Amino acid sequence: MINPILEKDLKTKMRGWRTPVLLSIYLLFLGGVLFLFFLANNQIFVYYTDTAFNPRVAVSAYNVIAMFQFVLLMLIVPAITATAISGERERQTLDLMLCSDISTWSIIIGKLIVSIAHIMLLVVASLPVMGTVFLFGGITFGEIILMFLFYVITALMVASLGIFLSTLFRKNVTAIIATYICLGILALGPVIAFFIWGVFFQRSYNVEITYSLLTAFLFPSPGYGFASFFAGTQSNLFGTIFNEIQHLAEKETNFLRYLKPWMINGLFNIIFSGILISLSAWKLQPVKKRKRKA
């Protein structure tokens, strides 16, 4: 049987007019960004002029769309998930849900899937737009599928963090702010820690930077995993950073050389999501079991 929370929320949200309108606006905006990008690089009217088509422009357009979707995911998912439980509490419907036969696990899982369903719908709907870039070459179909898989895993982690904080705080505003702060710490904290280490320790002790050392600092950061999907060479900053990471990985002698940054960060996101979901279900229980004294 389908999760009752999932069934109720999907019916109430998908039957309205807002979802189709939001999806249409998003696709028009994404298509407009792609059109303006090709227009700015003089690649629209190549068949009517002497300008030759540059395949690197298509790869750069792919990077722009991928980054836009990633930023969208990191900004929208916390705002949606951070109100999943606190919103029910403010509407005074949470007690009714807890008094029913629905377990806290079902409530958390249902809210989790509903919260990321909309953003995943936008990502899936945008695949044909990215397919236009795929037709020009330089990007394989497997790379797009792997990037979509990384989006799903990252959205799961962000949604789990938002729902967990939504169970801790009673107000929507407080939960949203706390989610953005925690997500910022998770994304930028490892980078800042690695920078501080490089300034104060790496220069003093002349320690060589390796792939293992870089991974030990940056594995929690979603940006570290997303760097794996930047195509091209050193035409942009992120491409240069990913090339340097690849060179360090090739020099590695242990098993880490076979693991790309998105795999390492994805594994962390899955484990971290499982912990947050378990804590959310435990925190949501109205009556917690206590150990009996002997």
Q: What is the pLDDT of residues 232-267, one digit of tens each?
A: 544 555 666 667 777 777 777 777 777 888 899 999
Question: Tokens standing for 65?
Answer: 């769309």
pLDDT for res 293: 46
pLDDT tens-place string over residues 107-154:
888 888 887 887 778 788 887 777 777 666 667 778 888 888 999 899
In angstroms, the CA 204 to CA 82 distance is 43
**H helical segments located in 126-206:** 127-134, 141-168, 172-197, 203-205
Return the closest-CA partner of residue 241 out of 258, 253, 226, 263: 226
Q: What is the dihedral of CA 72, 75, 77, 83, to 10 degrees?
A: -150
pTM above 0.75, yes or no: yes
Which pLDDT band holds residue 203 (cuts at 50, 70, 90)? low
Determine the 3-state secondary structure of 230 from DSSP. coil
What single-letter amino acid sits at 183?
L
Give, in order, the Cα–Cα distances in Å from 130 to each of 11, 43, 179. Answer: 29, 17, 30
pLDDT higher than threshold 60 for residue 97: yes
Q: Which residue has the higher pLDDT, 200 or 283?
A: 283
Return the closest-CA partner of residue 276 out of 268, 288, 287, 265: 268
Return the closest-CA partner of residue 166 out of 257, 67, 77, 244: 77
Which pLDDT band holds residue 183 (cuts at 50, 70, 90)? very high
Cβ proximity of 248 and 214 under 8 Å = yes
Return the closest-CA partner of residue 59 out of 223, 225, 238: 238
pLDDT for res 292: 46
